[in-house]
Each structure stands twice: as structure tokens, then as C-alpha cells.
Amino acid sequence: MTISDATLRKFCATEDDPFHYTHEPWYANGVILATNGHVLVEIKDDWRRANAGPEKSFPNVDKLFAENPGTDFIAIPPPSEPLICDCCIGSGKQIPIMEDDESVDTCLACNGSGEAMTRVRIGYADFQARYLRLLASLPNCTISPNGNKLPAAFRFDGGRGLLMPMRDKDA
């Protein structure tokens, strides 16, 4: 099964992400990668290489995978329905205090997703429901939680990835 471009793009940072992670998937050493800084996905290269942009070198990606191989991979729990962020009412943008304020900053409560950060526990680690829903959309995806500080490894038909857990202090 091929992972669609639309699915791959869901792993990328949004255009207004205040952090400068890549906004596009990229090709490197026979794989296509996408990340927003919280989740990283890698699929084996296929016909898309020509469309994946210039080859870039991100050596620390290999290091991240090597350091977080995962141990016991378990099924992703059935995803819950998304809850709308209370702060931005689902818009993903901060609601301006002044009515004529033209600035549209990204909502900090949900990082612009418009979805409330719902915590889902798997094993000894907590993850954002939004990311688990994304992982569950991948074919036969399983995850190996590794506590609330280290990334969990996940794998699926045709690829693998890493997902950061929610830290204890995150709401």
C-alpha cells in the first residue's frame, strides 16, 4: 500500500508554524521524510522522488532512529473524535483582543491545529490524540512507547517513524 501525498503532508509543519521545521516532505538516501518537530515519518522512496524536492542531508534523522529502535510494538488504540480547542474555537488562530486587530497569530494552546490537546496514555507514555489519529491512518501501524521523555518508535507497512510523547507538564 502506498502512502498518499495528502497523508504525508499531514506530518509536515503548517505554513504558519512558528518553529522552522520543514513545510514539505523531503527526499534523502532512498527514503521520503516528513516532520513537524513532534512527529517524524519515513517511507521508502517510490515514484515520488522527482516530486519530493531537492535531496537534503539530515544526518541526525538516522541517529534518531538508531537511538530509538523500539522494543514491543503494540496496536494504536482506536482513535477518539477530535475535540475543538477552547482557546481559538477550532480556528487555530489566536482570537484578537481588539476587534480591528489584523494580526493572526497561531493559537498557542493547540499549536494551530484547532484541536484540543487530548492526552491518550499508551503503556507508560502519553500522546496527543491528534497524532495517534494520524498514525492510525497508516497501514497496520504499531507503536512502541518509551516513557514521557523519549520518542516512541512506530512502524507500518512501507515505513517507520518517531512520535514525541506529551511531557508531564503539558496540559
* Binding site residues, Zn ion, CB under 5 A: 85, 87-88, 107, 109-110
Report the residue number, 64 or 109, with the smaller CB distance to Zn ion: 109
Shortest separation between residue 80's beta carbon and Zn ion, angstroms: 18
Shortest Å, Cβ 99 to Zn ion: 19
User: Shortest Cβ distance from residue 127 to Zn ion (Å)?
Assistant: 18
The CB-of-128 to Zn ion minimum distance in angstroms stands at 13
* Contact in structure between 151 and 163 (CB atoms under 8 Å): yes
Nearest CB to Zn ion, comparing residues 24 and 86: 86
- Which of residues 22 and 113 has its CB atom nearest to Zn ion in the complex? 113
- Smallest gap from Cβ 86 to Zn ion, in A, equals 8
Residue 40 or 107: which CB sits closer to Zn ion?
Answer: 107
Burial of 163 (0-12, 13-18, 19+ CB in 10 A): buried
Identity of the residue, 130 or 160, whose beta carbon is nearer to Zn ion in the bound complex: 130
CA 72 vs. chain centroid, Å, equals 21
